[in-house]
Structure 1
Amino acid sequence: LDEVLDHLANKSGLLGLSGISGDIRDLHAKAAEGHDGAKYALEVFVADVRRGIGAMMMALGGVDVIAFTGGIGENDDVIRREVCRNLDQLGIQLCENANLDGDIERRIDADSSQVQLWIVPTNEEIIVARQTVSCVTEGS
């Protein structure tokens, strides 16, 4: 059981798919060099995000906003572009220029997009601070 848990925790995901790394930056570099495993891992990652967006849109009857956050969502313009590619029929249209340049927190949808697309920085520290304050004040 420990071996299975170790494998799932440390050797699966992007690393397992690519056979080389779980870091998306490494995968982009290796994919550019023609590494098939890296290309495959990136394709699967994008397909999973797109599938998640589609599932949420169906479950909710549509969406008003999609937020890209976390290390990849905030920093990887290629992944954002690929996630949004050919989703016009869902009202999702990316503005290429906004996707590439701008403030850290910004709107990146095209004027014709029915769904707003945002890059939103993750602020994990504030979440931890709020939970800490909540625990301390509840214990008083």
Structure 2
Amino acid sequence: MMAINISKKQNVKIHVSHLDDILILVLRECTTEETFQYIKLNENIENLDVGDSSSYGPRLEFIDMLLMDIKALDVEGKEENVVYTDPETGEDKTLNSQVPDWKSHISTIIKLKALMQLSLKYFNSEPTKLKN
């Protein structure tokens, strides 16, 4: 049996479905302080007013702080690049951390889905207000 090193810092891959595709958001592992910040952000999530967009700002900032890269899965389950349409040229280009302001090209809904998946991955809990 192989030993598991629990003190090793590693990136976390969060799979998010988007339309008919699967995106992989690569997040760095949270520090202890960031973990407490995350818990505080979500302690009253059951009472979250879905129509109140002001409560989403800190959650989006939290995901942006951890976000390191984005990929997609092809139909065979292999990682591939994500593309975006450059607003200045209209061309489709590869989206990655080398693109200036790259995180702004990722939609809010994708980031919020990633946050929900992060909750499931780390705390095995899902915000009841956001369930289907």
TM range (shorter): under 0.3
| TM-score of the aligned structures, taking structure 1 as reference length | 0.23
Q: Which has the higher strand share?
A: 2
Larger RCO: 1 or 2 (CA < 8 Å, sep 6+): 2
Q: Which has the larger radius of gyration?
A: 1
| TM-score of the aligned structures, taking structure 2 as reference length | 0.24
Q: Which has the higher helix share?
A: 1
